[in-house]
Amino acid sequence: MLDIRFIRENPDVVKNACRVKGFDDVVDDIIALDVRVRELKTLTQTKTAEKNRITREIPAAADKAPLIAASKKIGQEIADEMAELADKEAVLTDLMHRVPQIPAADAPIGLDDSDNVEVRRVGDIRTFDFTPRAQWDLLDMNGWWAPEKIAGICGARTYALMGEAAELQLAIETYVIQKLISKGFRFVECPSITKPQTIFNAGHFMGADLSVMNDDVFMLAGTDRCLAGTAEIVLNSLHSGEVLNERELPIKYAGFSPCFRKEAGAAGRDTRGLVRFHQFNKVEQYVFCTPDQSDEMHEHLLNNLCEIMEDLELPYRVIANCTGDMGFNKVKMNDVEAWIPSEGVYRELGSCSSVGQFQARRTNTRYRGGDGALHFCATLNNTGIAVPRALVPVLENHQNADGSVNIPKKLQPLMGGRTKIGGRH
């Protein structure tokens, strides 16, 4: 969320953020409510002091009745104003949580992903001397999955990889974790079960009513828990309520967890193959830093994912997401997309996001600067790798005519030295 003082002092900036991100403009309502809330606080404080003064005079008064009557009258006024204050503060809190983060000045302005801007392409797109198979054909012919059987057992949008494909997925996860550790990230195996407030604190949902998450989040019936859609949720709250030392920053985490999403808004999309499931695994990069370090950290996280694409020997491109596609809590965002030969398109494999102090205000995560003052941390996140989605370009780009798949050199040590898997036997 934003600082109320920033909204008071920069209403036009906030209004513009609402406009370019496609959210309702509630700035005028916030400012009017803020004025009334501050007025009520002053009134109740003044009247409480007056009531206390009257109360002190009562014992020594010759005629106590007028003072008692005055005390009761002012007490009722205080009660009425306190009730109004509680109502106004609740509405103000909800509206404050509906204001989007201010996008970076250089973020492309646009309505949706059609307005995103390509920053660069890396790697040569392979020219095949045969018709490349789609991911599901490679999985079928090698016996690397059983989608109908698993759907019958577990329901739609579930998967199970088998044999060498399952080994390859584990090798990819392990390689990325080891790479991030070598770059100074602290590895955290995160729980997937968490509290709704923890998800809310990550700032992906608007308003103060936690039930807004029900369409996207799996709630665990009969409990006060739910399933997280990314390790970012837990990592974001790791230092909730703490005051960090500026010398400790940046703090870098590599979180791994199974992730769970209802995908309610994805009906009919990517129903075939390994792209969109209710459960998947992800390695997440997450950083706490000072606002001045944020741009440097954004490039660091983005470059890590780009290096991973190159380690997996994948052609890819980097996208600058426009304001209408970057989401509620982002300052800026870059997608990294890998080439999918069977579709002839690039597909998103990860998103690098600068969130500014938006999340830290919700979790009250601060640091003490060299001047002794307290400041909210800036936070950033980026995918390390998400599987099985990442298997799609790996299988398709490295396939051979016989259905076998070449293993990228960086993964071969984690695959027992094998250079390829699958194929007709």
Which residues are known catalytic residues?
261, 276, 348, 351, 389
Q: End-to-end distance of the chain based on CA atoms, in angstroms?
A: 58
* Side-chain-side CA neighbours of residue 84 (13 Å): 16
398/411 Cα distance (integer angstroms): 13
CB–CB of 421/415 below 8 Å? yes
149/278 Cα distance (integer angstroms): 16
Residue in this structure with the two tokens 């499931």, named with its chain if needed: 277
Structure tokens at 345: 């398109």
Provide the 3-class DSSP secondary structure of residue 83.
Answer: helix
Q: Which of 312, 339, 340, 277 is nearest to 145 (CA)?
A: 277
CB–CB of 396/389 below 8 Å? no
Query: For residue 291, what is the DSSP state?
Result: G
Output the DSSP codes for 90-139: HHHHHHHTTSPPPPPTTSPP-SSGGG-EEEEEESPPPPPSS-PPPHHHHH
Q: Which of 229, 208, 207 is nearest to 219 (CA)?
A: 229
185 phi and psi, to 5 degrees? -85, 145
